[in-house]
Structure 1
Amino acid sequence: MLTHYDLMLPLLRMMQNENKIYSLSDAYSELLKVLDCSEEEKNATMDDGRNIIFYRLQWAKTYLKKAGIIDYPRKAHFQLSKVGESLDLSNLKSLTPKYLSQFESFNDFRKLNQKTDREMKLAEQKIAVNNEELTPPEIISDQSKLLKDDLKSELLDLIKTKSPQFFEKLVVDLLVTMGYGGSHQDAAQAIGKTNDGGIDGVISEDRLGLDKIYIQAKRWENTVGRPEIQQFKGALADQVAKKGVFITTSGFSKEAIESAKKSGIVLIDGDKLTSLMIEFGLGVQIERSFHIYKIDQDRFDEDNF
């Protein structure tokens, strides 16, 4: 059965020949015409009825996006990027993790997924981790983490395309969902109003408003450094504030983290932000769920009858 890596090269060759915008369904239909596989493989489905090639094509598309080879010009559509248009595919037999590792954005994606060299080697050799190495629950756990990390990456990319005002509203929704700020209306009135020396908003720590949390929210690409933390720290001191949260879509430098620790400032970077969104169900929805059952030994204890 073709893997998502097997699908990448024929997909890219097809896209270079046509040079147009595709929906996933269109790409799937056209790709089936050129794939070197049997009708049985083309029609194979998963337990839930989804076509396996269609499902793996989704992952092929995701990996190519992470490598910067394709772009998403609009919702649910994709096309070749400038990088993808310039690739010479003529002498390639397949696209492997090693080939994709030449692209910095793909390496960043690999780091996010925390793949080990051994795992990448297994993927490149098309060897699945089998039951002799991992138990079925461990395999499910590993794949669940991979799906979650990919979702976090997509969430962050999407957030970065939105306006600063949208990001502030997103911060409000997250904090309220986590139990801070009372109501959405109360929290919305607090965020984006102060703009006082590095403070973007003030929100109640509890529904009674007994304590306040001062917030800095930055939709940034660049790493937040020590100067930004120092500015926020100074703003907190001016307000005689005890608690502050600095939220960003990027990350924090080592110096920024050390400075925040000394001041009791909580830092939430892009990775933590998207983790919290998934944990509290904000901006995401459940596609599928799995239940692992075991024997209820108490039910078969004759002393209980």
Structure 2
Amino acid sequence: MSIPKYNEIMPNILRYLDVHGEQKIRGLELPLAAEFGLTAEQIAQEYDSGKGAIFLDRISWALSYLTNSGLTERPRRGVYRNTEAAQAFLGKSPSEVQTYVKEQMALRAAEQKATKATKDVDDESDELMPASNQTPQEMLNTAYESIRQSTYDQIIDTVLSKTPSEFEGLVVKLMELMGYGGQVKNAGTVTQASNDGGIDGIIKEDVLGLGKIHIQAKRYARNNTVGREEVQKFVGALAVAQSNKGVFITTSSYSSGAIAYADGLNGTTNLVLINGEQLAKYIYDYSLGMQTKQHIEIKEMDSDFWDTMQNDG
């Protein structure tokens, strides 16, 4: 089973709290995971951005919405229990619970608007449940990935507008930024086009140049596919250069035959294939020709700090 959405978790939380009483979020994680038949890998699975575990985040938001709608309450920090109103929803479906929660949160937002006439409408958006079944964290991650993907497309479009020689220089710079060449000064060089022997760039791995990585860079249209034959020719060029380390980089993609051939070299030649999507990601991640447009800082409470304080009652 896939990891349940926050709205699918809400009825299970109400039933568990009804039977077991007050619980912390972490105390709910494993019992709820067992109810949904999740594996250890699914429980530990994090967002692609690395910003926390997906399942625990969805439990957290489910509890937040249940509390804001009056079905659960927090007797003390980090601890949740059912209210009397929860009794009417113990046998309800996720859609029934979600409908009630949405209604209650909409009423709450309307009441706040009426009592705070000077408050901007935008400031009340956090009181409403999202239209989709994504948590706010998931919506943020989705927007983040959408922006990244759009930027990847812009990167490839820009690369395709440059000359082949500029592309060769670009990939050499990228390899250096990624740490290949270490502390060697001017580790990367672009070979002369008239006499490259099928090698477009070279990265020295040590000061004496005893270890080298050879690069082939192909600036192809997106719909082009690099086939096995081209990859084989590059491996032949590596053999002539007496090198067993090669990186083939393209702005397009590779055929299944090319990928299978590279995978089947069995260590005789260490060959890495980088397609257009991976290339754009590396350029983005290593900030080659990129600048940071915006920082968004999201904070959460530090349990180690607050839990050292004595609770009232």
TM-score range, shorter chain: 0.5 to 0.7
Q: Tell me if 1:162 matches 2:162.
A: yes
Partner of 1:247 in structure 2?
249
What are the Cα deviations for residues 228-263 of structure 1, in whole angstroms up to 9, with x where unaligned? 101001111222211100011111111111111123
Letter in 2 for 1:178: M
Counterpart-to-counterpart distance in 2, 1:210 and 1:301: 57
Partner of 2:66 in structure 1?
none
Over 3 Å counting, the alpha-carbon distance change for 1:130 and 1:245 in structure 2 is same
Matches within 5 A, 1:175-214: 175-182=175-182, 186-188=186-188, 190-193=189-192, 195-205=195-205, 209-214=209-214
Q: Tell me if 1:231 matches 2:257.
A: no
Letter in 2 for 1:215: I
Counterpart-to-counterpart distance in 2, 1:132 and 1:239: 56
Counterpart-to-counterpart distance in 2, 1:296 and 1:247: 44
Over 3 Å counting, the alpha-carbon distance change for 1:160 and 1:132 in structure 2 is closer
**Which structure: larger Rg?**
2
Q: Which aligned runs of 4 or more in structure 1 are off by greater than 6 angstroms?
A: none
SS in 1 for 2:167: helix
What are the Cα deviations for residues 17-72 of structure 1, in whole angstroms up to 9, with x where unaligned? xxxxxxxxxxxxxxxxxxxxxxxxxxxxxxxxxxxxxxxxxxxxxxxxxxxxxxxx
Where does the alignment leave 5 or more consecutive residues of structure 1 unmatched?
1-128
Over 3 Å counting, the alpha-carbon distance change for 1:277 and 1:225 in structure 2 is same
Query: Shift of the alpha carbon at 1:205?
Result: 3.2
Over 3 Å counting, the alpha-carbon distance change for 1:184 and 1:156 in structure 2 is farther
What are the Cα deviations for residues 210-230 of structure 1, in whole angstroms up to 9, with x where unaligned? 521111011112211111101
Partner of 1:130 in structure 2?
130
Over 3 Å counting, the alpha-carbon distance change for 1:199 and 1:130 in structure 2 is same
Identity of aligned residues (%): 42
Query: Shift of the alpha carbon at 1:185?
Result: 6.3
Q: Tell me if 1:218 matches 2:224.
A: no
SS in 2 for 1:138: helix
Q: Tell me if 1:289 matches 2:295.
A: yes
Moved more, 168-177 or 205-214: 205-214
Contact 1:168 1:191 in 2 (8 A): yes
Over 3 Å counting, the alpha-carbon distance change for 1:296 and 1:182 in structure 2 is closer
Where does the alignment leave 5 or more consecutive residues of structure 2 unmatched?
1-128
Query: Shift of the alpha carbon at 1:206?
Result: 5.1
Contact 1:244 1:265 in 2 (8 A): yes
SS in 2 for 1:247: strand
Partner of 2:307 in structure 1?
301
Matches within 5 A, 1:66-215: 130=130, 133-182=133-182, 186-188=186-188, 190-193=189-192, 195-205=195-205, 209-215=209-215
Over 3 Å counting, the alpha-carbon distance change for 1:280 and 1:207 in structure 2 is farther
Contact 1:245 1:266 in 2 (8 A): yes
Counterpart-to-counterpart distance in 2, 1:209 and 1:239: 13
TM-score by length of 1: 0.53
SS in 2 for 1:186: coil
What are the Cα deviations for residues 101-134 of structure 1, in whole angstroms up to 9, with x where unaligned? xxxxxxxxxxxxxxxxxxxxxxxxxxxx926611
Match of 1:278 among 258, 279, 284: 284
Contact 1:179 1:206 in 2 (8 A): no
TM-score by length of 2: 0.51
Counterpart-to-counterpart distance in 2, 1:184 and 1:271: 29
